[in-house]
Structure 1
């Protein structure tokens, strides 16, 4: 059983659409294994995805980020320049590989070095999403001081 019907959960929850979409797409991952890749944590907020794309030039590769989905596409030109292969073991087929990124993860850059496509990722949490300290206020009579926007700044 590889599919789950999440329809009943949609009726009883509000604002969790993205979570259900992620659960829905988890079972639909690409199982071809091409091209092979690594996902590496460089430090606390930096990550790197490295894809082995031997034989691809940078103009044959496309990296696109759309709604937290990173898509890497490789389109090989089909020209063989009159070559006849006795054995062709180097995979030269076109591909498309997708990665789901967490919220607040952005692509910092990409480079192609020695047949490896390195995609640098950085997690940048906005100030509004970071934890903040709430001061507890009041006087001895139990009156509470209400912070206004002008007082908070």
Structure 2
């Protein structure tokens, strides 16, 4: 019997607790494309960073878009100036166009992005709305029930 490898899901999903959405997303993954390489890092409680190696790209050649629960990073190399010809003896830096998508949980928000030393850093934070936070309900004898926020531990 063959096991189900969920490592591709963990590589490109941030903040998911709902396994059904992950399994649905797995059917759309293209496991063969690993360009450009990236890291997903947990910086602290509810703070994350995606760090993507985009060697050869200028900041102006990168585009970051967030729509609904999808973060899309697109790299499109600018056309070389006309009359400029470059002859490579070895070309090891792949500067090809790419589109990388990350599925974000409802509570994950993109807070900013930076570009330094060929690395694109995208910062994310988990923001839980008040109505989704756990609340204590006080047991009382009256008809009204007061709800109190649960203290953070």
- Specify which of 101, 105, 109 is matched with residue 104 of structure 2: 101
| RCO comparison, higher one (Cα < 8 Å, 6+) | 2
Q: After TM superposition, which residue ranges in structure 1, 4 or more long, deviate above 4 angstroms?
A: 18-22
CA distance in 2, matches of 1:78, 1:46: 37
List alignment gaps of at least 5 residues for structure 2: 3-17, 149-153
TM-score by length of 1: 0.76
For normalisation by structure 2, the TM-score amounts to: 0.76
Deviations for 1:110-139, whole angstroms, at most 9, x for unmatched residues?
00000000000000101111001100011x
Cα distance in 2 between the residues matched to 1:122 and 1:45: 5
- 1:136 matched residue in structure 2: 139
Bigger Rg, structure 1 or 2:
1
Change (3 A) 1:55 1:107: same
Aligned residues: 129
- How far the C-alpha of 1:103 sits from its partner, in A, is 1.4
Hey, what's the Cα distance between the residues in 2 that align with 1:89 and 1:146? 72
Deviation at 1:22, TM superposition (A): 4.5
Mind listing any 5+ residue stretches in structure 1 that lack a counterpart? 2-17, 139-144
* Equivalent runs, 1:82-97 vs 2, <5 Å: 82-97=85-100
